[in-house]
Structures are given as structure tokens and as C-alpha cells.
Chains A and B, each alone.
Chain A
Amino acid sequence: MENIRQVTFAQPSFFKRIKGMLGVDFYRLFHTPLLYIFLVIAALIPALVSMGGEGEATGMFTNVWQIIAANNPLYVISDMGEYANMNMVFIFGGIMVSIFIGHDYKSGYVKQLFTTHAKKQDYMISKTLLGAFSMACMCVTYLIGGVLSGAFTGLPFAVNAGSLLCAIVGKMIMSLGWASLYTFINIIFRSKFGISIALCFVLGTGIPVVGAAALIGNTPALNIFLYGSSVYACLSANFVSVIVCLACSGVWAVIYNVLGTLTLNKRDVY
């Protein structure tokens, strides 16, 4: 009953592999409710932080755009108003990425991926891009939610439009670095996504950077960290701020992708 047939093995290019992996991830992203839930959450956060029980301003903000970013890069947080801005997207983004990757492992789907031509680096790259895309989308819904809730509370809209644009673009660029960090955390803890979520929350809130700032002061040196650069993208941001965000996000994305690929190559898949 032996069936001998001629078999050929075409070498899939890097782009074909990545296209395939991204195809899977984005198909899943758009065909499950996870992204939509988090987009709604991102849109609701500004309303929750800017409005009181009966629609009155809480007094934390004096301008609508402070819901998006702080006036200046304040690494040391002295009040809730300085903290509660678009950076919160990165906390919720971490939770979303954790659930997404955790289910890859929990369902066993990851073994289907790695049985075929997918390489470990493809997995890291794809999940990073997916996380970055999701968080960037969350930034947009946060922005919409922020403007609407700001308008509802009657806060003034006066702002330097260029700086605001730089701040928003800077924060959206930071999504890439954050997504790579969260992907790395999740491939360490895999199906135990409760631990990943907790860790993403700790790092996403910037506790280590806020702590460091409390010790060494409000210095731009903290921009080497993801949270530092995310804070740097503020309402006094300029083109340099965007470049700083791009460099920080890009460098960390490369570092975490290399570390993640090494970890995946050294460890059993499940």
C-alpha cells in the first residue's frame, strides 16, 4: 500500500511567511470581539477620568487636550490628572495582547503554527505588529472619546495644533515598543496569561520609571524607557519628540523581538 509520489519543496520567502502569519492574526483580530471590546474601553476611559457622576468636570483637567497628554514631560506624577491620559491605552493594550497570545497557547493553536513553515521570529514580528496596530487603533478611539467627553464637560480646546499632533503621533509610534514588550512577556508566561496581564499592568503604568523619576528627578534621560518616551510625547512636543519616540520604540521593538525569538528557539513550544 505504499504511495510514492514526486514531492517538491518550494522555499517560502520571509515576506510570504510574514504575510501568512499576519493574515492569521488579523483574521482572528477582526473575527473575534476582543479588539472591538478594547476599542470601546479605550473610548470610554477619557469619559471615566474626565467626568464626574453627573457630567460635571472633575477639576483634574483645565484643557480638553490634557486628557490626551500632559502639558509637559512630567516623569514624576504629582496628581491623577497628569497620569490619566492616552498612556492608559498602553495598559489596556497589554491586557489585550496578553489575552490574544495567551489563547494561542491555551487552545494549542500555536502548535499548528509551528508545525508548518512559520519561524519563531515570524511569530514575534507578527504579534508585535498586531499589538501595535491594536494599540494605535485604541489611541484613535481614545482621542475620539477624549474630544467628546472634553466637549461634554465644557473644557477649552485651545492648543498648539502642531504639538498636539506630535504628541498623538508620538504616542501611536510608542505602540510598537509597548507591543513588543508585551509579546515578549507573553511568550515567557504563555497560557498563564493572568501573570502576563499583571506584569503588563505593572510595566504599562510605568511604575519603574515613575519610581526612578522620584529618585533621580525629572530628567529626559528617562526617555530611553518606553514609559519615559510615552510621557515625552506631550502637549509641548515637537518634531524631535517624535524622532525620540520613533528611536525608543524601534530600538526596544528590536531588542524584545530578538530576546523573544531566542526564548522561543530555546524553549519547547508548549
Chain B
Amino acid sequence: MNAVEIRNLSKSFRGMYAVDNLSMTVPVGAIYGFIGENGSGKSTTEKLICGHLVPDKGEIKLFGKDFTDAGVRARVGALIESAGCFPNSSVWANLMMQALNLGLPNRAEEINRVLKIVRMEDNAALKFKSCSLGMKQRIGIAMALLGDPALLILDEPINGLDTDGMRIMREILVDITQNLGCTVLISSHILGELEKIATHYGILRQGKMIREISAREMDARAKVFVSLRTKDMQGAVKVLQKKFAGVRFEDEYIRVYDADDTEGLVRYLLANGHVVSEVKENKIGLAEYYIELMSEKEEA
């Protein structure tokens, strides 16, 4: 069974498609990283799943049931854009209202549990408006965690946070994804952070899903490239380009993408009068994969 299954989903605003015939699948238990540039349709898709927007067409199923099913919706938690709290009410009061809405039996206990997860147990009495951005995001996550959600939807939870805020948020996300056992759909621009927790990725561009890939698949398909330095970098690039197609000069290193044998590569350069001073084998990460995919699509 899949936690989220979307078929041919479209949503337009004043004739412009924000989500265009999108299909995607999030397996149960996955931590699904939703990637795409600004305006690619990530937030719109998440809002559609949450029932905040009315789709033009298409089908959304959550755990095999229609996404409007009250039983399923009771087990969905979301942080979309902002926490959605009353600014003049305390953190505790805001959480209490959501606990009441969900009809939770042990409300105080449940609120304390989620406050502990987001490391806010000492700030429950604070008014929401007096919390920092990082705290507000954490309260938003606490709201989403109430009622033990089976599906957690987090829209850019790290964006706009300072270094310390990012560190705390990363720890919370790792805690949630590893210990709570819920399916997580998370969008973020910070691919390095996403790479550490995601098991699956969906890459969006202009409202369309251009690639869905699991972290395992990506790992298996990830190209290894060799980066090296020589005294005469320009000359070495010219020599390498005679033998290899994927040669680039990036970040003060020569990158060779289609070299199977690193030792042979070094020998080849030496034979052509270029002494290699530094050489290392690298694997393409999520960020490089994303950039490459985007440039491929742009060329197409």
C-alpha cells in the first residue's frame, strides 16, 4: 500500500497551471523528499493533499482511500508555510485547540509529548507571537504531530532558520523520521539536509513530476567522477578532452565524469606531460544529480 498516490493531478490559478498532470507515489514508511525550484508546484501539491486547495482534476489517494475520507484525514499532520496558530494565544493554548479538534483523550499528556519532541517543553506558556521563527516552525511541527499522524507533510521546515535553528530542526527531523515511524513528505531547498534523511525523492519542474527515484536507486545509479589538480590546468583539460567526453573545470578542480579507471587516467596525463598533484574519487550527490537533471531538461 502507498501512503500517497496521486494520478493526473492538475491545479491552475487564473489559467496558469501550478500543478500540471502530476502523478506521484509515496510508499508507506518512506521519507519522501520533494524537490524543485521556487514555483515548481511543491507547496501547491502539498496543499492539494492536505485538502486546502480544490483540484481542477485528478485523483489523490491516501493509504488507499480517497483523500477526503475523514478516517484518513484524522491521521494526517501538516506544516504548510506557517504554523497556523493564533498569535495572541499561548503555545499551550494553540496545541490544546488542535488536540480538542482531533478529539484526543489525554490532551495534556499528548501536548507534553509533542512539546518534548520539538524541544519546546519549557516554552509552553509563551505567547505564539513572541516566539522566534525557529520556535514557530517547531510549534508547527508539534501541531502536526498531535494525534500520532500516519502521514506528516512538511513544507520547507528549514527555510529561513539561522544556523542554530537549522541544527535543532535537523535533529528533530531525524528524531521524527527514525523514531515515530510515520510516512513523511518533506519539501526543502536545502538538498544537503534532505539527503541525510530521505528514502525517496520526487523532482518537480513547472508543475510536472520529472523524476521519482528512491535513495537506493539513486545511489546505485550515481555516477562516480574523478576530480584532480595539475600545475597546468588548462593544458590538462585539453589533453583529457581528447580521450573523455565528460570533462569539466569546476571549483578549481578538473572533473572527469566518464573515467572508469582512475590510475589509468593519472598515467594518461603523466604520459602527456601533466603531473597530477591531487586526485580523488567522488560520488554525485543529490545536489549535483538535481542540477544535472535540471540542465538536461532545459536542453531538451
Listed in ascending order, the chain A residues whose CB lies under 8 Å from chain B are 1-5, 7, 9-12, 16-17, 19-21, 23-24, 27-28, 31-32, 103, 107-119, 265-270
Contacts and interface: CB of A to CB of B under 8 A. Distances in A.
A96 B50 CA distance: 29
Given A107-B87, A111-B80, 5 more contacts: A12-B103, A20-B101, A108-B85, A112-B85, A270-B52
A16 B147 CA distance: 15
A4 B63 contact: no
A12 B177 contact: no
B261 to A, nearest CB: 33
A7 B63 CA distance: 9
Interface string B94-133: 0011101111000000000000000000000000000000
B102 to A, nearest CB: 6
Contact of B74 (A12, A21, A27, A114): A12
A9 B181 contact: no
Contact of A117 (B70, B82, B89, B199): B70
B65 interface: yes
A28 B52 contact: no
B54 A23 contact: no
Given A9-B63, A266-B54, A108 B81 contact: yes
Contact of A1 (B63, B75, B83, B177): B177
Contacts of A5: 29, 181-182
A116 B86 contact: no
Interface of B: 27-31, 47, 50-54, 63, 65, 69-78, 80-89, 93, 96-98, 100-103, 143, 147, 150, 153, 177-178, 180-182, 197, 199
Contacts of B143: 112
A111 B147 CA distance: 16
B71 A16 contact: no
B74 A117 contact: yes
10 contacts: A7-B150, A9-B71, A9-B72, A9-B75, A11-B69, A12-B74, A23-B103, A109-B85, A115-B76, A268-B47
Contact of A32 (B73, B88, B182): B88
B29 A17 contact: no
B65 A107 contact: no
A27 B107 CA distance: 13
Contacts of A31: 89, 93
A9 B96 contact: no
A248 B133 CA distance: 49
A115 B88 CA distance: 22
B170 to A, nearest CB: 14
Contact of B101 (A9, A24, A270): A24
A115 B77 contact: yes
Contacts of B72: 9
A107 B28 contact: no
B29 A19 contact: no
A11 B65 CA distance: 12
B173 to A, nearest CB: 12
A118 B243 CA distance: 64
B199 A1 contact: yes
Nearest to B1: A7
Contacts of B199: 1-2
A268 B47 CA distance: 10
A113 B30 CA distance: 25
Given A1-B199, A9-B72, A107-B84, A113 B101 contact: yes
The listed residue with most A CB atoms (<10 A of its CB), out of B63, B65, B74, is: B74
A4 B84 CA distance: 29
Nearest to B68: A119
A3 B29 contact: yes
B52 A12 contact: no
Given A3-B181, A5-B181, A9-B71, A267 B86 contact: no
Nearest to A109: B84
Nearest to B214: A2
Contacts of A110: 84
